[in-house]
Amino acid sequence: MSDTQSTSGAVRLDGKAIAEQVRMELAAEVAEFKAAHPTFRPKLVALQVGERSDSSVYIRQKAKACKEIGVEFEHVQLDEGIQQAELDARVDSINDDPAIHGLLVQLPLPAHLSTRHVVQSIRAEKDVDGFHAENIGWLSKRDGSPYFHPCTPLGCIELLKRYNIAIAGKRAVVIGRSDIVGAPVAMMLTKLDATVTLCHSRTANVEELVRDADILVVAIGQPEFVRADWVKPGAAVVDVGMNAVDDATKKAGFRWVGDVHPGAAAHAGFLTPVPGGVGPMTVAMLLRNVVASAKRHYAAASTVRIVPSVLNLADPVPSDIAIAQAQASALKPIAQLGGELNLAPRELEPHGRHAAKVTLDVLDRLDGMRNGHYVVVTGISPTPLGEGKSTVTVGLAQALYAHLGRAAFACVRQPSQGPTFGIKGGAAGGGYSQVAPMTAMNLHLTGDIHAISAANNLVAAAVDARRFHEATQTDAQLMARLCPPKRGVSQFAAPMLRRLQRLGISKTRPEDLAADEVARFVRLDIDPERIVWRRVLDTNDRFLREITIGEASTERGMSRRTGFDIA
């Protein structure tokens, strides 16, 4: 007799053995993919709210299973009193992390949190439990392809397939219509061409329907609900139920039984044991979903699928500004472009609707990817039509991607307002080979030049202000400004302590400094003739190139010559 054959005739659908086989296959698959792609690191995060002991046991089982097949696992445990907004923020953070390929929230959640809201907050492409409405929705469509199938239903189907049980054309009865097992497994059987009847608490003729079933899946949580004599001879029975019933003969005081009476083995052709049937398959299918997700994310990260914007060419060609204005209403939102470039939301810092910065974290994420080619466009004298470096650079990028299908990025510097408002004009390209929105590109972009100008001019103002204060105040007055007493106590700030060390002064309290030490500490004694730090402006204003500052009567003869450079 076969090891899987029970003494009463039914073949044992050994979920434990099949799950172990699936894990071995996944371990080999992960190892092989890692060997070809060294930066491939599949990762699953389990988020637990509170400290329920049963939930902790389940999470430890998943952590162990992940380790066995080479998947990184992170357990995020949150306080039971966490508020909905805080939990949402944690889920969003995990959703946006490109290094995480699967997220599961351990249920049940505390009563004050919305389980439905949290489950639907998980991004569909990371919902490895398969509970998200988008995944369930695609599962319900005949030609739909969800990111993931729910793990327990997928385990049921996998058991049937591994034992070569025919599904197409068979009569299948599913008892229980839960969103977790019953309804999804019914849809999956239907997509495999079975004729499916879904039974629930209001179904009147359950026994009659069961007697006609070639495949029976039961998931209602009622001990031994299906009688042994209901089962059709030779039927495949998948018992998802796991119910504890009192049993004084057991050390624990109870035993596990399924939703189907064990006597059904005398009639069924195939039967899952309880325990050891569907349970181990659920974890195995979760691992399969995580590995599939990681490989999908890895493939997406190395593929760029930009949808080129349509250009409506006019003849004769309008001016640059006319082209830019005509294209304004059709500009692609920068968030959409980021998605086409496979940038994670956390890697994109939008500045308005059509511009954004990309965080440097993306370099670490793509560190293992093959480098591209670097083409430098330089040393070009503009043609009479204004075709110079920027125009050629943008045009090359357009041609390489839109016409040759090669991923190409045009890298141009942010224009300065000086040349923009001068004879040269902007630096966003020209004609139909220009960066849009052109006005924002030429004047502000992300505002970095303005920020640099403010920072530079703050230093210039601080230098002149320091000269002014040192010339008009005593050492004691300067000391009082630098170390004002708080609640009667004066203290040095950390940068001040570092200055004292550079001066060779080891004292750490202001009141301990001698008069000469105070003078050395509070005075920089800046020589105005040696100040080379000038102010900057991003507009080419020739009358500010050389100026005299400090002409006001309140500045007491502190005037000096300086000027503005271009930002």
Backbone phi and psi for residue 273, each to the nearest 5 degrees, phi listed first: -80, 160
Contact 359, 350 (CB under 8 A): no
Backbone phi and psi for residue 78, each to the nearest 5 degrees, phi listed first: -115, 155
Question: Residues 6 or more apart from 217 whose CB is under 8 A from it?
Answer: 156, 172, 173, 174, 175, 181, 182, 185, 189, 238, 240
**Per annotation, catalytic residue among 14, 127, 129, 538:** 129
Check if 129 is active-site: yes
Spatial separation of the C-alpha atoms in residues 420 and 267, rounded to whole Å: 86
User: Prior bond to 345 cis, omega within 30?
Assistant: no
> Is the four-CA dihedral 263, 266, 269, 274 of positive or negative sign?
positive
Q: Helix count (H) and strand count (E) of the chain?
A: 19, 19
Query: Which has the closest alpha carbon to 73: 37, 99, 110?
Result: 99
If phi > 0 it is left, if psi is from -120 to 50 it is alpha, else beta; for residue 313 that is: beta
By residue count, the chain amounts to 567
Check if 62 is active-site: yes
**Per annotation, catalytic residue among 48, 106, 398, 417:** 106
**Per annotation, catalytic residue among 43, 62, 170, 232:** 62
Question: Residues 6 or more apart from 321 whose CB is under 8 A from it?
Answer: 438
Query: Which has the closest alpha carbon to 176: 227, 115, 229, 240?
Result: 240
Spatial separation of the C-alpha atoms in residues 357 and 140, rounded to whole Å: 39
β-pairing, 243-246 with 254-257? antiparallel
Residue environment code for 436-474, b if the CB has 16+ CB neighbours within 10 A, otherwise e = bbbebbbbbbbeebeeebeebbeebeebbeebeeeeeee
Contact 508, 497 (CB under 8 A): yes
Q: Which two tokens stand for residue 542?
A: 């020739």
In this structure, the dihedral spanned by the alpha carbons of residues 507, 513, 517 and 523, taken in order and rounded to 10 degrees, is 100
Spatial separation of the C-alpha atoms in residues 268 and 258, rounded to whole Å: 15
SS3 label, residue 437: coil
Active-site residue set = 62, 106, 129
